[in-house]
Structure 1
Amino acid sequence: MNVYPKIASAVMISLASLSGHALTNDEFKSQQQSIDAQYKSAMAQCKAMKGNAKDVCEKEAEGNEDIAKADLAARQNPNEVTQYKARLARAEAAYEVAKERCDDQTGNAKDVCKKDAKAAYEKAKGEAKVQRAEATPATSPARKAADVSNARKDAAQNARDAEFKAAEQRCDALSGAQKDACLDEAKMHFPK
């Protein structure tokens, strides 16, 4: 199972549902029940699997449920906070699945995989924070510009730090002068 098409389709469905009006209580309850039914169905399909494939399947099911619930909350109460939480749910779901997929690997390859997953998560989380800053009202245009600029700066720094850790982990597979050269290149490519 590939997580990205599944999460992408869940995101597209969720985004389409966000474009409308706030839900009535009956609509909200109905959609909650639908989310619960989809989750139970997905988990039932996972039971037939073995090993890490089962674990990945379960993380995908949990992630899709979390995304759907966050999107439903954003549709029920549309504001920058609930929309931020929905974007964050997508990032966290993708991260959890990616980490679980890394368990198929061993040694340094597994460590690199997890660091790459963390870097992608930090980037997505940073983008969510920037979008939240852009959507949050401010007392003045200058204040808003400063808030967005700070969010972008923090997001870029966190993503760069995570990417550096992934590059550093790749260097651990090397030794001696090769490892030193690899680390120097990583430091140059991802300055602090």
Structure 2
Amino acid sequence: MLIALNKPYGVLCQFTDADGRRTLADFIRQKDVYAAGRLDQDSEGLLLLTDDGRLAHQLTDPGHKQPKTYLVQVEGEIDKAALEALRRGVLLNDGPTLPTVAQAATEPDWLWPRDPPVRFRKSIPTSWLSISLREGRNRQVRRMTAAVGFPTLRLIRVQVGEHALDGLAPGESRQIR
């Protein structure tokens, strides 16, 4: 079984929390499924859940090279030099990243408002980009955009391998056949 969930902002990628924060249990009623990969509490978008350990491994193990694609809002107007640096790979404190597919994007018309909203500053513009990568280090996209001088304000995973968000609203899920 494979379930696609549009994980809302502020939700933990686990089913229980001793501190009473929102978890996957608030959205997924199916028993005995587990997240295939993770999204930070402050990230949104596609999260795949399965009851099949082998499938979870295929989806998450970097050796299987499943691309993960993110829509990223950054602080500042992204420039060609930063995009090229992201494409080549950047040096992080835990070593260099693999090359990525990175390109400027526009805010999509299907995008839902975030609750709470992203901070707004009149004097500092924001821009959007699309990043696809084949590794999955802790907070990697955020660290990469910061390393090239453009801190991430909003991060939405839109695709994992062949599985895409495809119109799921925040908190909605669907079973994938």
Task: Give TM-score, length-normalised by structure 1.
Answer: 0.27
User: Which structure features the higher share of strand residues?
Assistant: 2
More RCO (CA 8 Å, sep 6+) = 2
Larger Rg computed on CA atoms: 1
